[in-house]
């Protein structure tokens, strides 16, 4: 494994160094450098510190692990690969995400999963361990968002206006969300066995990554949010 000391490097120098490194590298002392691993494939990158905005933007198959928090736009428009955050993420995590997986151990900021989309075998997955900010899944067009509500600060599992403009995909919440005001164009229902078969593998993977008991989490009740079949937005978009 190649070790890279990030502190003296600008974001462009850091990215050039990562591209020149071997397939496995560890970035030490990251101090907010932006666009780390943008568009990369074929690498496994461990980051110690706090990466800046657009970590893994346009990611095309690389695997990124962050030992710390991450700033805004994690996985912006990523196509394939995996990002694992051992901490919390800022706003717009998974923005326009169209493939791959993002696992956030803690909380996510505003507009996580906005404009997520899916096509044929490309199905993005965003798993948030704690809570999410306002506008979660805004204009979601595809993919899967799972919110596990493992936060302990007493705040609601999601902020204002979740699922605004949602016209595709699926959102899953662990626990009771009957007090959350979802918009009229989506349907809220208890998870079925078929739903559980779809999202349970990602809950199990979250638990493996962050050392939790999956059986304990999967015994709990889950709520599934999907666009209503009478959704007025649906006619505005081409179906997959």
pLDDT tens-place string over residues 153-177 = 989 999 999 999 999 999 999 998 9
Q: Given pLDDT bands bounded at 50, 70 and 90, which one contains residue 240? A: low
What does the block give as tokens for 27?
A: 């970035």
Contact 77, 60 (CB under 8 A): no
Task: Round to whole Å and give the CA distance between 107 and 94.
Answer: 13
Residue matched to tokens 């692990």: 65
Residues 28-76: tens digit of each pLDDT: 999 999 999 999 999 999 999 999 999 999 999 999 999 999 999 999 9
The answer to whether 163 touches 171, Cβ cutoff 8 Å, is: yes
Closest by Cα among 16, 11, 18 to 3: 18
Q: Is residue 233's pLDDT more than 70?
A: no
What pLDDT, on a 0 to 100 scale, did the predictor assign at position 2? Answer: 95
- The Cα–Cα gap between 135 and 133 comes to 7
**Mean residue pLDDT across the chain:** 94
Measure the CA–CA gap between 21 and 151, rounded to whole angstroms.
37
Pairing of strands 24-31, 168-174: unpaired
Contact 66, 93 (CB under 8 A): no
First to last CA, the chain: 41
**pLDDT value at residue 151:** 95
Place of tokens 């991450």: 70
H-helix or E-strand spanning residue 164: none
Kindly state the average pLDDT of the residues 81-102: 98
pLDDT attached to residue 120: 87
Q: What is the pTM of this model?
A: 0.94
Query: Is the Cα dihedral 164, 136, 142, 149 positive or negative?
Result: negative
CA 81 from centroid of its chain's CA atoms? 12
- For residue 234, the model assigns a pLDDT of 55
Predicted local confidence at residue 73, as pLDDT: 98
Cβ atoms of residues 54 and 30 within 8 Å: no
Encode pLDDT of 136-154 as tens digits: 999 999 999 999 999 999 8
Q: What share of the chain is helix, strand, coil (3-state, %, to 5)?
A: 15, 30, 55
Per-residue confidence (pLDDT) for residue 237, from 0 to 100: 57
Report the alpha-carbon distance of residue 93 to residue 107 in Å, rounded.
10
Q: What is the pLDDT of residues 174-227, one digit of tens each?
A: 998 999 999 988 999 999 999 999 999 999 999 999 999 999 999 999 999 999
SS3 4: strand
- Decide: 62 and 42 in contact? Cβ < 8 Å: yes
């Amino acid at each position: 494994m190649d070790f890279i000391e990030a502190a003296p490097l600008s974001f462009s120098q850091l990215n050039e160094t990562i591209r020149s490194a071997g397939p496995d590298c560890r970035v030490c002392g990251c101090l907010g450098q932006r666009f780390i691993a943008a568009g990369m494939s074929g690498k496994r990158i461990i980051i110690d510190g706090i990466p800046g905005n657009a970590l893994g933007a346009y990611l095309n198959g690389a695997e990124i692990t962050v030992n710390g928090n991450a700033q805004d736009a994690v996985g912006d428009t990523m196509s394939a690969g995996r990002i694992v955050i051992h901490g919390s993420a800022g706003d717009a995590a998974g923005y326009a995400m169209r493939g791959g997986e993002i696992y956030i151990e803690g909380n996510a900021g505003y507009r996580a999963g906005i404009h997520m989309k899916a096509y044929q075998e490309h199905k993005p997955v965003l798993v948030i361990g704690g809570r999410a900010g306002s506008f979660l899944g805004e204009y979601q067009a595809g993919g899967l968002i799972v919110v596990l509500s493992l936060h302990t600060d007493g705040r609601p599992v999601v902020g204002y206006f979740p699922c605004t403009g949602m016209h595709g995909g699926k959102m899953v919440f662990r626990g009771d969300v009957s007090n959350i005001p979802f918009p009229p164009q989506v349907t809220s229902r208890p998870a079925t066995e078929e739903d559980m078969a779809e999202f349970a593998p990602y809950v199990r993977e979250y638990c493996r990554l962050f050392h939790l008991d999956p059986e304990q989490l999967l015994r709990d009740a889950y709520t599934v949010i999907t666009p209503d079949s009478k959704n007025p937005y649906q006619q505005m978009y081409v179906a997959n």
